[in-house]
Copies of this chain bind each other. A is one copy, B any other.
């Protein structure tokens, strides 16, 4: 297997300390490659980066007609949220309207990603619940699909459950590739995750951003989801996170979503391009540097957008005493 190129590095003092290899691809909705590096045909797990694709059955199964998901609830369905009050309350609100509760979530409980929310919970002596799980918005959306389909909600995370079959079919439709049990794992939140070529995920984002090649129903659903996410960037991640800050700065032009283990996917909507990045070693900070470098290179950012991106393209490393001692920086052509 040929090694992917070095796309980010850590420099300490005047010497390189770490190397981060990876691949990225930018593609239009017809599949034309705009830019790429590394092996873009290697199958990778997209993890949470494709939650917007996994939310499509909300529309395909007409759950939206039955439960009237708000834009905020759709943004939460696309989110890896940080467990702040607005996230937790948003998910709890949808569950309540579905006639369900936190007990129906099968994602498991973890402490809020947001440090202040985590500390507040601890100070209150409250154990984290599945509502605080960063995937609880996606899961509440999946529960709405189960109800709309008239199937039992219990076990909705299982590979053979009707909901996950719909999720898989929606992803296959959008990325234009079959998914396979031979390249399948279980995500941290217990649902299946299927590996597919990096290029296919970028292609899927380009198609969702433009509607090109999708049925009118899918195209409308994709537009509604991307509009919801880019209107509510704080709901898609949380305070201070790159996805939130980048989507805020681009004011609807960019749909951006992180995935665990160094995945980044998104779309530059006005250009009709989708992109996907995988850092080979799974480092999240390095993948954010790669993302920032890519958007600096291709998204024609204005000054304010450049300022936000520059913070991630060059991430300062500090000593315990707070002195700047190094930098994690993108090295890809930009």
Contacts and interface: CB of A to CB of B under 8 A. Distances in A.
A320 B129 CA distance: 11
A320 B182 contact: no
Given A261-B10, A326-B185, A190 B320 contact: yes
Nearest to A281: B281
A44 B330 CA distance: 20
Contacts of A18: 261-262, 280-282
Report the interface size class on chain A.
35 or more
Interface in A1-24: 1, 3, 6, 10, 12-15, 17-21
A110 interface: yes
Contacts of A184: 13-15
A108 B188 contact: no
Interface string A163-200: 00000000000000000001111111110010100000
Given A190-B321, A320-B108, A14 B281 contact: no
Interface in A274-290: 280-283, 286
Nearest to A122: B122
Contact of A320 (B6, B10, B188, B281): B188
A24 B177 CA distance: 39
Contacts of A262: 18
Given A107-B320, A323-B190, A185 B15 contact: yes
A146 B75 CA distance: 59
Given A108-B320, A188-B319, A319-B190, A195 B45 contact: no
A180 to B, nearest CB: 9
Nearest to A119: B122
A15 B183 contact: yes
A43 interface: yes
A116 interface: no
A319 B191 CA distance: 10
Given A17-B261, A280-B19, A108 B185 contact: no
A133 interface: yes
A182 B15 CA distance: 8
A208 to B, nearest CB: 24
A43 B19 contact: no
Contacts of A10: 261, 282
A92 interface: no
Interface of A: 1, 3, 6, 10, 12-15, 17-21, 43-45, 106-110, 133, 182-190, 193, 195, 261-262, 280-283, 286, 319-323, 325-326
Given A17-B45, A17-B195, A18-B281, 13 more contacts: A12-B193, A13-B185, A14-B182, A14-B183, A15-B183, A15-B195, A17-B44, A19-B21, A19-B281, A107-B320, A186-B325, A186-B326, A188-B325
